[in-house]
Structure 1
């Protein structure tokens, strides 16, 4: 039952044992397991997810550079170099590093090379989308393309279209687009981001993880508006919040392949259903989560946001409350 289970801990690999093994090797400076993992990866969804997680771990190392030195014509290595370059540029911006612009341009060049080396691959276009948020004044032409819907602002829609052409409904590509809209928002509650999430969620096919985009927007809105006071807690049970949670449950959770579900998506759905007091549905999602907790979105409901231990306590309370319902 959802009320039972060991105390959770965050694991970036989630239930992907092969990815976990490759990460362990990567952290010791070895790249052969990463190469083997990527060679064995089937499907763009798994490829996108695994390259992202690997890049997060590799960004502080020279592992990918060593791989390329040994195998300079390896296409997966070229794609991973772009992934690592993007991760470093985004980290530099978050930390206010003086080399941010230099790392951004380097990552853009790497992503362009990856796109040329791997024409069918959506990941180089996801990389370019991720970098678009660094262009805060939208100076680049490719970041000022007219939107496909008149209610949405200009942005890197061409980059999204390229990723979508290679992998329709690519989860990370749409989340990167959402990050771009947040980065260029003129208000604490950007209508553009909400409109984009609603539009994508309403048009996504059954089983698509894009049905959860409105849940991510609601968590971000809660964070931006202060969170954790009684008045704001009420909006989790509002009609639109409940509707979004149930739509995601019915259109994604009940129709998706359990092996392809992201732990981050599962945690957002459990959080939304618990907040909407839809406890029987939340219990099923908690059972699917198992031990694969993710700090977000639970940190936003903790007494001290960003405190990992408190976020785990919120998760445990939500799981117990949901599992206690007959």
Structure 2
């Protein structure tokens, strides 16, 4: 793409974009970012990058990225916009002799709403139409086939499309608070197993369940999404065998508090492991180890865990990676 064609395309983007030159000055800014930051696109050119950032640490990091020609993903960065601070997620990548900044301004979350970022809300909007088409196709298939197994698979597609559409609607309509109810974690994991076995090349699955695990208080749809994201990530990274394990832990620190009893759900895979370059930013939005990855799955999974008062952790080495979802069980006994 020529420079002129790229500029024309970038100026039509709803995403905020800016080019920073080797002297840490704004070489160009698109109308979307100019509007968000209350800057004139022409008057912004030549301005030092310090007109945007509220602190000096970011400027030093930008200079380092420029000198090393490296990319980075930053989350929750404050930018100056017309005398006020705007919280953003920023992706930085080398572009010619400078850096390209992709800026996502985060919408303020109303009280009791989900902390999901604006980028995830945008993703929810984009998937609604494909989900409707997928559901319709599955319904037609279910009616036209006589094979009971194929009808069951079509029903599985319909159920998953409905579940994802419900999640998307909650995000889009600011109805983001978790909907708590009794959740049997083993039922969620068995449904996950059904979904994975429907894959063209299903993985080898192992189950290591603690039968004493009680029901927990949670949002079943969202927790289903977490375990599905963890399994998908493992398979897309090259794993062939997955182990689904549940345990109960006592006296565990989750965030700033110690809970008396917590559920631990482990998704263990035999893939190549998490690369050293991703370990510090693995749960950030838009960070992915795959060229075709969106970088949304783990960010969403961590936020869902936090909504439930829990955490998502991992330990990884080649051939053995464990993602552990921790959820407090105390609320289920209140």
| Same fold at TM > 0.5 | no
TM-score if structure 2 supplies the norm length? 0.26
Tell me which protein shows more strand as a share of its residues.
2
Tell me which protein shows more helix as a share of its residues.
1
Rg larger in structure: 2
